[in-house]
Amino acid sequence: MSLDLWTSIGGSVVVAATPLLLASAGELVTERAGLLNLGVEGMMTVGAAAGFIAAYHTGSPVVGLFAGAAAGLFCALIYAWLTVQLAADQVATGLALTIFGHGLSAFVGQPYAGKSIHPLGDAPVPLLQHIPLLGPVLFHHSLPVYFAILLVLGLAWYLRATRGGLMLKSVGEDPQVARGLGLPVIAIRYAAALFGGAMAGLGGAFLSTVYTPMWAQGMVAGQGWIAVGLVVFATWRPLRLLLGAWLFAGVGIGQLFSQAAGLQVNTYFLSALPYLAVLTALVLISRDPMRIRLHTPAALGRPFRAES
């Protein structure tokens, strides 16, 4: 294959990984606070619908991105109220939100099925875009792509080097001890859940306003579940999210290029490859349970009751 084709594949992988990076970065923060949110898929779906509808009526994909983030934030507010305030079961609440998100997006998005909008244009980085090979792959995209990469890098710094990151991790490890130290456990868990929801909604809006600027029910196609698995794959360390998102997106893009090249493999099998890659990665990681326990937030999934 020519160098131009490899460059095209690399650039496509970076773009395709963007919604995974956004959603998984939000989920990582949520889980670091001790909240297991399995509603990421539903929040992404609602964000995709809200983002497309806002962009369709305003003519601005940027407005659509903000609308998608706001929709995810609203869903996260429901999740946080139920799990943080009322100490409801986090798994059941997340699954219910996913079902709710699919139903709501199908209801509000039905009149827009098959319609399209003008996508957000690319914003190449001056000078860096001319670097051989790396320039077209990393520095010739729309602004949300750069934001997703910088978000992960900033998150790694925040968790490692700031007092806020230490407080977040303390709440995720032992909320009772954190409360004893005077930390506002409820407020921190609320903030983490809302951030996660906003990023999931933004990831969904990226799909409907930038990546494929159209609306179709089911367009999120399980990326929310992959984002949740990606956090485990990264063992709750932000920089590994980059590697995982690019790996899983690469599998998806690879199957598209294989189909375009006329590779004689069942198309259903090729479409299932990204999900098989996720399952394979999780199985391989599970062979070392000590490593997972070492990095898993100790209070993940456990409700916190201030009076206990």
Mean pLDDT (whole number) for 244-253: 87
Beta bridge partners of 116: 214
pLDDT of residue 130: 86
pLDDT per residue as tens digits for the range 21-54? 999 999 999 999 999 999 999 999 999 999 999 9
Mean pLDDT taken over the chain: 90
pLDDT of residue 307: 62
pLDDT of 136 higher than 60: yes
State phi, psi for 86 to the nearest 5 degrees: -100, 0
Residue 117: strand, helix, or coil: coil
pLDDT of residue 286: 72
Nearby residues of 239 by Cβ (< 8 Å), 6 or more positions away:
152, 153, 156
pLDDT of residue 1: 61
Mean pLDDT (whole number) for 230-248: 90
pLDDT of 251 higher than 70: yes
pLDDT of residue 6: 82
Domain ranges of the chain: 3-294
Higher pLDDT, 263 or 118: 118
pLDDT of 103 higher than 60: yes
Nearest in space to 193 (alpha carbons), one of 46, 75, 55, 65 = 75
Mean pLDDT (whole number) for 120-129: 89
pLDDT per residue as tens digits for the range 287-300? 777 766 777 899 99
Mean pLDDT (whole number) for 146-150: 96
Cβ-based neighbour number of residue 176 at 10 Å? 14
Mean pLDDT (whole number) for 72-95: 95
Q: Are the C-beta atoms of residues 30 and 196 closer than 8 Å to each other?
A: yes
pLDDT of 126 higher than 60: yes
Q: Quick one: CATH architecture of 3-294?
A: Orthogonal Bundle (1.10)
Q: Are the C-beta atoms of residues 13 and 20 closer than 8 Å to each other?
A: no
Task: Please report which confidence band the pLDDT of residue 248 belongs to, taking 50, 70 and 90 as the band edges.
Answer: confident
Q: What is the pTM of this model?
A: 0.92
pLDDT of 225 higher than 60: yes
